[in-house]
Amino acid sequence: MSDTDRPDKKPDQAAALREALNRGAYQHAQRLLQTLHPAEIAALLESTPSPEREFIWTLVPAEENGEVLLHVNDDVRNALIRHMDPAELVAATEHLDLDDLADLIDDLPRAVTRQLLQAMDQQERWRLETVLSYPAESAGGLMNPEVTTVRPNVTLDVVIRYLRLKAELPDQTEQLVIVDRYGHYVGTLPLQTLLISDPDKTVAEVMDTEVEPIPVDLPARKVAQRFADRDLLSAPVVSVDGLVIGRITIDDVVDVIRDESEHSMMSQVGLNEEEDMFAPALQSFRRRTLWLGINLVTAFIASAVVGLFEATLQQVVALAVLMPIVASMGGIAGSQTQTLIIRGLAQGRLTASNAQRFINKEIILGLLNGLAWALVTALLAFVWFGRSDLALVMGLAMVVNLLLAAASGIGVPLMMRRLSIDPALAGHVVLTTVTDVAGFFAFLGLGSLLLR
Amino acid sequence: MSDTDRPDKKPDQAAALREALNRGAYQHAQRLLQTLHPAEIAALLESTPSPEREFIWTLVPAEENGEVLLHVNDDVRNALIRHMDPAELVAATEHLDLDDLADLIDDLPRAVTRQLLQAMDQQERWRLETVLSYPAESAGGLMNPEVTTVRPNVTLDVVIRYLRLKAELPDQTEQLVIVDRYGHYVGTLPLQTLLISDPDKTVAEVMDTEVEPIPVDLPARKVAQRFADRDLLSAPVVSVDGLVIGRITIDDVVDVIRDESEHSMMSQVGLNEEEDMFAPALQSFRRRTLWLGINLVTAFIASAVVGLFEATLQQVVALAVLMPIVASMGGIAGSQTQTLIIRGLAQGRLTASNAQRFINKEIILGLLNGLAWALVTALLAFVWFGRSDLALVMGLAMVVNLLLAAASGIGVPLMMRRLSIDPALAGHVVLTTVTDVAGFFAFLGLGSLLLR
């Protein structure tokens, strides 16, 4: 999708806000902040350097504080929390949904947590502990334990009267969950169905039993996949015994999908998506050092291979001129294969039963690529340096290298997966090291054999 | 997120299906297919090579055909459509929602489209044409023109009786849209509110006027941002005159978010996300040639820079050994800065008012990086080759190169954006060309000045 944006009014509001702050119109700024949603205020805070950021934070309406803290990245959240006293923090967070509070609670000072827990009744505390007992990246960590349940044997009319009596439903409730007398999952009753059906019918007559409940230990990524595949708005979560213990709503799933995509974009270059854009340079320096250090090691490995052929390079300096081309083409072709494998694995499209077909195809493709680009690069090398032996070395190296690139594009991600390392994270570094080493070795090795 | 998956039952179903096909148990296979949702069948088809794919397609229940066609990628869809006769295609697609049909219609043979249009009544045809008249990547392209609207002055009781009379609501309806007598947007009425409120109240008394309607020309990416920021399940779409002309539901938005993330992952290595994993090698070869060709041109540019210093390389062959290190470190550091800029621009976090602060920080960081890695690499070069002049060249080149890398990491995406090229697509190739050229030039240039 193109990033050439059409004008939208939100950036204008942010600009208007900054302009109001600059000319000291704080009341006007406060009114502008009131028109923004918490996620939009969070974006504004993330895109404002300190100390303006802390100042804007004091202008944010107190009732929005909790929601805004939920939406900012970890670095910014910690900085904002440091500027709040315990009473403010308790006030900001005590009205959050339990699943949201669970996401935040690790970042709160211990005194605040203790106070929050004391203010809760027995049932709420128990529910919070339930959510906290599951890994954040699982259905249990995503779910909200507040579910409106009804029994299958009552009439719709009774359900409607029950809801009017309750006078409030959890946010984003678009279906009720049907449970038996022991709390086991039976089905769901969409509010739509409740509204349009004959009120004298029973829940059992109109309920939907198609929705499969989500096991509490399903990984978040698979929860997201299921929501997307089946166009779900919400789904009940059940324990191993089939008891309904919570529900997951699509808004949390959307966050999972967005976070995952941001995480993979950032981690490819060794960055953390929770980092503050305006962190002090020294702090960013420390964080990015590891990645540059790893890269230096891999670059030295490639250099060491070149070093093996110092004598040959001395004799035929054209090899030094052409060697970046061989390595670079291998890196690109290998990344294409690797990206397809990583996607196939992540989406479950690549399985034991079809992998061989895919691998065969990519190897044949590597050979085709090798032959085609061998011709092109050999010709260019001949035109440039006027040496047919150099052109031959170039062509042969290209065939070898592009075949090896296809093989590494397949082998590297599969090996990393076997080692339980995320291939999307470290795959690129490992792959280019392999293709660099192989490319330099093939090209300079052939050069040392065939040229003088 | 780690890709080391826990066991899930879906892959087993796919495996069970393949196993059933292998032993010729077609009825069993057909029953298994009936338990899968259309998106899951689509995934299965995408992960099965031809001709098994076409055979499975014949076993898919006819009533699922339309939905499955919606979910497979373009290549696979075209292949499946080629195997269907017009009558089958009409049957498969005539019951799709209008917004889904609009996504599919370009891929259908003309005879099928004509037949579909003839089978529609005047109003449906007009609605379809409305959706088709907007770009697919805009709110208009995403919306479904079927909206259930009510007037503000009626009582909830009347609304409930009206809905029971209709006896059916469009899929994923969780709120009604309130319009005035001319069809202008007034507010929304969540089904929740309708259910729990006193039935004698009027719509106007309980409706929600907080939901901002979505302008029909808002780009899809911004629609997705708004849904995510405000936790929306659906939102009304209005024309420039404020008339309600459709609604967008979260399931379409989830598809936008997922497609965008897949698109950016694939396009970084010059691949198209609509490509069939099992396309013939020759077809993939043709598609990937362009990207490898572009890369060859950029690699030759970098080589040409190296070629300028042939005489120096002849004298000091250690330069050839070390030069990949300088270029590689520049590429990595530059990508980190570039990735932050691309994300900042895409999320609207980087604006005219804060860009300078961010740029200053990254330049300071480039200097810090340059100084630190200059020390490390100079030391390593000294230990390796025992030449202090070579170590000095290495260190100086590293400072220059990492400063230039920061500058290009900022400049390249900003320049591409100005040229209306998506920096996420071509940014990496352009950036590494710049850092390679700069790295080789700095290192070899300093070498030719200071070494002999």
Give me the residue spans of the domains in chain A.
10-137, 149-267, 281-450
Type of residue numbered B161: R
pLDDT in tens, A28-39: 888 888 888 898
Band of pLDDT at residue B423, cut at 50, 70 and 90: confident
Q: In sequence order, what are the residues at sequence separation of 6 or more whose Cβ sits closer than 8 angstroms to the Cβ of residue A421?
A: none
Write out the H or E segment, with its range, that includes residue B298: helix B281-307
- Angle subtended by helix axes B250-267 and A250-267, to nearest 10: 10
Nearest CB to B310: which of A321, A325, A351? A321
- Chain B nearest C-alpha distance from A111 (Å): 30
Q: Give B-chain residues touching A220 at CB under 8 angstroms.
A: 1
Q: Is the pLDDT of residue B405 over 90?
A: yes
Distance from C-alpha of A384 to C-alpha of A381, rounded to nearest angstrom: 5
- Chain A nearest C-alpha distance from B346 (Å): 6
Q: In sequence order, what are the residues at sequence separation of 6 or more whose Cβ sits closer than 8 angstroms to the Cβ of residue B283?
A: none
Q: CA-based angle A194:A195:A199, to the nearest 5?
A: 70
Predicted local distance difference test score (pLDDT) of residue B12: 63
pLDDT in tens, B284-335: 999 888 899 999 999 999 999 999 999 999 999 999 999 999 999 999 999 9
Question: Considering only A11-20, A193-202, B57-66, B155-164, which range has the smallest mean pLDDT?
Answer: A11-20
Q: Give B-chain residues touching A289 at CB under 8 angstroms.
A: 372
> Would you identify the CATH topology of the domain B9-135?
MgtE N-terminal fold (1.25.60)
Do A10-137 and A281-450 show the same overall fold?
no
Q: Give B-chain residues touching A268 at CB under 8 angstroms.
A: 339
Q: CA-based angle A340:A342:A343, to the nearest 5?
A: 65
Write out the H or E segment, with its range, that includes residue B87: helix B86-93
Q: Is B149 left (phi over 0), alpha (psi -120 to 50) or beta?
A: beta
Distance from C-alpha of B334 to C-alpha of B441, rounded to nearest angstrom: 16
- A303, two tokens: 């250099």
Verify whether the Cβ–Cβ distance B351 to A191 is below 8 Å. no
Band of pLDDT at residue B267, cut at 50, 70 and 90: confident
Q: What are the C-alpha distances in Å from A174 to residues A97, A169, A170? A: 17, 10, 10
Q: What are the C-alpha distances in Å from B330 to residues A19, A192, B391? A: 38, 58, 18
Do B378 and B357 meet the contact criterion of CB atoms below 8 Å apart?
no
Tell me, rounded to whole angstroms, the distance of Cα B140 from its chain centroid.
18
Verify whether the Cβ–Cβ distance A328 to B299 is below 8 Å. yes
- Chain A nearest C-alpha distance from B111 (Å): 30
Integer-rounded Cα Rg, in Å, for chain B is: 30
Q: Taking the alpha carbons of A319, A322, A328, A333 in that order, is the dihedral positive or negative?
A: negative
- Chain B nearest C-alpha distance from A100 (Å): 13
Predicted local distance difference test score (pLDDT) of residue A197: 92
Residue to test with chain B: of A150, A208, A254, most B Cβ within 10 A = A254
Verify whether the Cβ–Cβ distance A324 to B347 is below 8 Å. no
Predicted local distance difference test score (pLDDT) of residue B175: 93
Verify whether the Cβ–Cβ distance A332 to B292 is below 8 Å. yes
Q: Is the pLDDT of residue B378 over 70?
A: yes
- Count other Cβ atoms within 10 Å, centred on residue B168: 10
Predicted local distance difference test score (pLDDT) of residue B11: 53
Band of pLDDT at residue A12, cut at 50, 70 and 90: low
Predicted local distance difference test score (pLDDT) of residue A8: 44
Task: Identify the DSSP state of A7.
Answer: P
Distance from C-alpha of A369 to C-alpha of B189, rounded to nearest angstrom: 59
Which 3 state secondary structure label does DSSP give B42? helix
Verify whether the Cβ–Cβ distance A340 to B5 is below 8 Å. no
Distance from C-alpha of B34 to C-alpha of B21, rounded to nearest angstrom: 15
Type of residue numbered B64: E
Q: Tell me the backbone φ, ψ of residue B84, rounded to 5 degrees.
A: -110, 145
Distance from C-alpha of B211 to C-alpha of B236, rounded to nearest angstrom: 9
Predicted local distance difference test score (pLDDT) of residue A11: 53
pLDDT in tens, A175-216: 999 999 999 999 999 999 999 999 999 999 999 998 899 999
Which 3 state secondary structure label does DSSP give A145? coil
Type of residue numbered B145: P
> Would you identify the CATH topology of the domain A10-137?
MgtE N-terminal fold (1.25.60)
- A329, two tokens: 């083409």
Distance from C-alpha of A429 to C-alpha of A416, rounded to nearest angstrom: 12
Verify whether the Cβ–Cβ distance A357 to B195 is below 8 Å. no
Predicted local distance difference test score (pLDDT) of residue A3: 39
Type of residue numbered B87: A
Verify whether the Cβ–Cβ distance B328 to A295 is below 8 Å. yes
Q: Classify domain A149-267 by CATH architecture.
A: Roll (3.10)
> Would you identify the CATH topology of the domain A281-450?
Tetracycline Repressor; domain 2 (1.10.357)
Q: Give A-chain residues touching B281 at CB under 8 angstroms.
A: 361-362, 364-365, 368
Distance from C-alpha of A271 to C-alpha of A265, rounded to nearest angstrom: 9
Residue of A nearest to B169 (CA): A192
Q: Is the pLDDT of residue B10 over 60?
A: no
Q: What are the C-alpha distances in Å from B55 to residues B29, B47, B92, B118? A: 11, 13, 17, 31
pLDDT in tens, A63-105: 899 999 999 998 999 999 988 888 888 888 888 888 888 888 8
Task: Identify the DSSP state of A64.
Answer: G
DSSP letters along A213-280, please? PEETTSBHHHHHHHHHHHT-SEEEEE-TTSBEEEEEEHHHHHHHHHHHHHHHHHHTTT--TTS-TT--
Distance from C-alpha of B83 to C-alpha of B439, rounded to nearest angstrom: 54
Distance from C-alpha of A92 to C-alpha of A90, rounded to nearest angstrom: 5
Q: Is the pLDDT of residue B89 over 80?
A: yes
Mean pLDDT score, A20-27: 84
Nearest CB to B265: which of A40, A264, A354? A264
How crowded is the C-beta side of B382, counted as CA atoms within 13 Å? 12
Cβ pairs bridging A and B (under 8 Å): 375
Q: Give B-chain residues touching A219 at CB under 8 angstroms.
A: 1, 5-6
